């Protein structure tokens, strides 16, 4: 079984993998990992693979120096949960009637049966997570009471490559949280496998629920505003030790506080400051569990200059003070 990704212009192979028995299986049922680094005229980045029985997780993160036209080939059958986190791509293949384009913050589920074609990476930063499932594994979780799922199941049974939903959907906040947990999972051995399998199923549940109950995003935000709101979200996650006003956050991405306030609530269902506070406290909870830092150091690491204010906020969210929580861990 083969997976190949190559630069069409310069005939340069980027990724070439041979899987001796199955794309998904590991002989002893353990978690296997590999990472392929890219450092060439195209740019720099990596493609990381994590796989075990029935599940293959691919995480790609690349900074390109120019748009790149790629060829791709695979000779196996798979269900792919596709998430484009940053950047945009456009793929053409004879197995699909129309080109498949993914923009940042979008997702879908695809069935492919021996796929080949060309793909354009069109932006400087490209970050994706693709989770490939053995069809038998996936079908255990596919509901049978909806025409959308029935149509997709029939395509899989006929071996016909297909999208589950004709339109890509927006990656919501819950999905982003699980994707981050998958990407940054540091567990080992059987615990890593149990954790990742549970998170993949949880992520699949969120995708299927969204496809079942919603149309693609039809809110009031323009694409450029949507991108800016996601950029603010990413900025906050990368700067948990800082404190900014709503106006300052808006200026970080070239918008105004009204657009940010309205759009963030529409997209994530909460206010900007509530989101940032919750993320800070979640991180503090992790530090209380995993680190040797004292409470004052943890308070400072999430932007609280007054330890008492941190303790009050922590107790309001979790029902106990940081010191009580630390002793109980």
The pLDDT of residue 25 is 66
Tell me how far apart the alpha carbons of residues 246 and 242 are, in angstroms, rounded to a whole number.
Answer: 13
SS (H, E, C) 113-174: ECCEEEEEECCCEEEEEEEEECHHHHHCCCCCCCHHHHHHHHHHHHCCCEECCCCCEECCHH
pLDDT in tens, 188-223: 989 999 999 999 999 999 999 999 876 556 667 787
pLDDT > 90? residue 144? no
Q: What is the mean pLDDT of the chain?
A: 87
Choose among 299, 306, 148, 302: nearest CA to 238. 302
- pTM of the full predicted structure? 0.78
Residue whose tokens read 């994590």: 50
Query: Going by DSSP bridges, is the β-strand pair 68-74/2-7 parallel, antiparallel, or unpaired?
Result: antiparallel
> Looking at the predicted structure, is the pLDDT value of residue 22 above 70?
no
Tens digit of each residue's pLDDT (9 = 90 or more) over 168-178:
999 988 899 89
Span of 47-51, 156-160, 213-217 with lowest mean pLDDT:
213-217
* pLDDT of 215: 58
132 pLDDT band, cuts 50/70/90, is very high
């Amino acid at each position: 079984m083969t997976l190949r990704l190559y630069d069409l212009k310069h005939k340069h192979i980027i990724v070439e993998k041979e899987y001796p028995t199955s794309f998904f299986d590991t002989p002893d049922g353990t978690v296997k990992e590999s990472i392929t680094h890219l450092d060439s005229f195209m740019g720099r980045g990596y493609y990381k693979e994590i796989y075990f029985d029935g599940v293959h997780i691919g995480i790609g993160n690349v900074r390109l120096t120019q748009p790149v036209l790629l060829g791709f080939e695979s000779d196996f059958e798979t269900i792919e949960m596709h998430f484009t986190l940053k950047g945009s791509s456009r793929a053409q293949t004879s197995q699909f009637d129309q080109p498949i384009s993914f923009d940042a913050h979008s997702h879908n589920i695809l069935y492919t049966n021996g796929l080949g074609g060309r793909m354009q990476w069109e932006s400087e930063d490209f970050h994706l997570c693709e989770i490939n499932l053995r069809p038998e594994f996936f079908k255990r979780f596919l509901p049978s009471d909806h025409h959308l799922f029935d149509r997709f199941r029939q395509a899989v049974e006929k071996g016909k490559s297909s999208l589950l939903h004709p339109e890509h959907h927006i990656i919501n906040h819950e999905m982003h949280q699980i994707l981050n947990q998958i990407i940054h999972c540091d567990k080992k051995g059987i615990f890593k496998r149990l954790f990742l399998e549970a998170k993949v199923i949880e992520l699949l549940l969120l995708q299927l629920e969204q496809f079942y109950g919603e149309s693609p995003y039809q809110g009031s935000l323009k694409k450029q505003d949507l991108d800016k709101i996601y950029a603010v979200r990413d900025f906050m996650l990368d700067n948990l030790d800082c404190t900014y006003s709503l106006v300052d956050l808006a200026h970080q991405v070239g918008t105004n506080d009204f657009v940010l306030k309205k759009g963030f609530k529409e997209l994530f269902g909460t206010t900007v400051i509530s989101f940032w506070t919750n993320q800070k406290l979640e991180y503090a909870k992790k530090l209380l569990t995993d680190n040797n830092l004292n409470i004052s150091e943890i308070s400072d690491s999430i932007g609280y200059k007054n330890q008492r204010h941190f303790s009050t906020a922590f107790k309001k969210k979790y029902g106990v003070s940081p010191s009580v929580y630390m002793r109980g861990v």
